[in-house]
Amino acid sequence: MRADMFPRPIEKSGPGAKAAYQSFLPVALIIWLLPLLAIFLTSIRSAKDINSGNVFGWPSEFRLWENYTAVFTQSEAATYMLNSVLITVPTVMISVSLACLAGYALAIYRFRVALPLFFLFVAGNFIPFQILMVPVRDMSVQTGLYDTIAGQFLFHAAFQTGFCTLFMRNFIKALPFDLIESARIEGVAEWRIFWFVVLPLVRPAIAALAVLIFTFVWNDFFWANVLTQGEGAKPITAGVRALNGQFVNNWHLVSAASLLAAIPPVLCFFLMQRHFIAGLTLGAVK
């Protein structure tokens, strides 16, 4: 227990306050996650409950397994999920690799355009997607990348390179420069410094970026609509919307599909929490 925290540690206010706080926590959590709990309960109900309006009460029967398998057997959900994986994984690999290289160049070398180039990557990361939509869509159609997996991950990788470079450059900038300096004096080639000195040190940044980009791209909905048409290349986010149309009034199935779509990023977050949060704060809040 630290005495110098703000707000004051609850323990200091006596055992009564602590007990009150600890019993209020779960209540607050349930209120906060109420929409999510409600949709989970819906996802394990039977169709009968939905039709009879039993949305709040205890489910009359539990259909966890039936509902979740129905999503896969009655729709293209499996294809959508696979597509999402096929889009996100290459995106993460390409954007993080490019950002390692670019971030290294922008952090280590002192050349005149280093800062303007860095700002270009930063600015690109904040622009509205809509300003890219027409040209990227048109280019994808022209090059045959429209409605393909590759068309999506190439775009995502390029766009996420902006954020990754921002993060990676700041991370490398914070490393002790002496390390690079002394390697240079010993005559180590530049690419070897990158590979053997810097790369091992930026592993935490790579992990943070990997989980973050995975989540961002997995949750993308806009580009899934702009760059795909048929079922073949649709990721799960666009798929869930399609299912919503297909399963009209089958709220138990829509709920189950929504929760399935959320599982990979949630897992990602819980397994790599520390890295995830480090990435979200843009490295600005340590």
Segment 48 to 67, residues that bind other proteins, using CB under 8 A = 50, 53, 55-56
Please, which residue, 8 or 66, has the CB nearer to other proteins? 8
- The encoded tokens of residue 94 equal 């390409």
Select the residue interacting with other proteins from 74, 79, 148, 244 (CB under 8 A): 244
Select the residue interacting with other proteins from 44, 162, 180, 213 (CB under 8 A): 162
* Contact pattern from residue 215 through residue 234 relative to other proteins, giving x for each residue in contact according to CB under 8 A and a dash for the rest: x--xx-xx--xx--------
Q: Contact between 43 and other proteins (CB under 8 A)?
A: no
Alpha-carbon distance of 123 to 143, in angstroms, equals 27
Please, which residue, 70 or 257, has the CB nearer to other proteins? 257
Alpha-carbon distance of 210 to 95, in angstroms, equals 9
- Subset of 114-153 contacting other proteins (CB under 8 A): 114-115, 117, 119-124, 126-139
Alpha-carbon distance of 235 to 85, in angstroms, equals 8
Please, which residue, 64 or 192, has the CB nearer to other proteins? 192
Please, which residue, 24 or 62, has the CB nearer to other proteins? 24
- Backbone φ and ψ for 186, nearest 5 degrees, come out as -80, 0
**C-beta separation of 40 from 195 below 8 A:** no
Is the bond preceding residue 7 a cis peptide, omega within 30 degrees? yes
- The encoded tokens of residue 171 equal 């991370």
Alpha-carbon distance of 210 to 88, in angstroms, equals 10
Q: Contact between 8 and other proteins (CB under 8 A)?
A: yes
Alpha-carbon distance of 211 to 193, in angstroms, equals 26
The site that binds other proteins (CB under 8 A) totals a number of residues, namely 105
Q: Contact between 280 and other proteins (CB under 8 A)?
A: yes
Select the residue interacting with other proteins from 67, 88, 228, 237 (CB under 8 A): 237
**C-beta separation of 254 from 247 below 8 A:** yes
Select the residue interacting with other proteins from 109, 177, 195, 196 (CB under 8 A): 109
Q: How far is the CB of 181 from other proteins (least distance, A)?
A: 12
- The encoded tokens of residue 136 equal 């990227």
Q: How far is the CB of 266 from other proteins (least distance, A)?
A: 5
Please, which residue, 70 or 227, has the CB nearer to other proteins? 227
Select the residue interacting with other proteins from 58, 111, 176, 230 (CB under 8 A): 111
Please, which residue, 46 or 137, has the CB nearer to other proteins? 137
Question: Beta-carbon neighbour count of residue 260 at 10 Å?
Answer: 20
Alpha-carbon distance of 157 to 209, in angstroms, equals 12
Select the residue interacting with other proteins from 20, 64, 199, 266 (CB under 8 A): 266
Torsion of CA 21, 24, 26, 28, to 10 degrees: -120
Q: How far is the CB of 170 from other proteins (least distance, A)?
A: 10
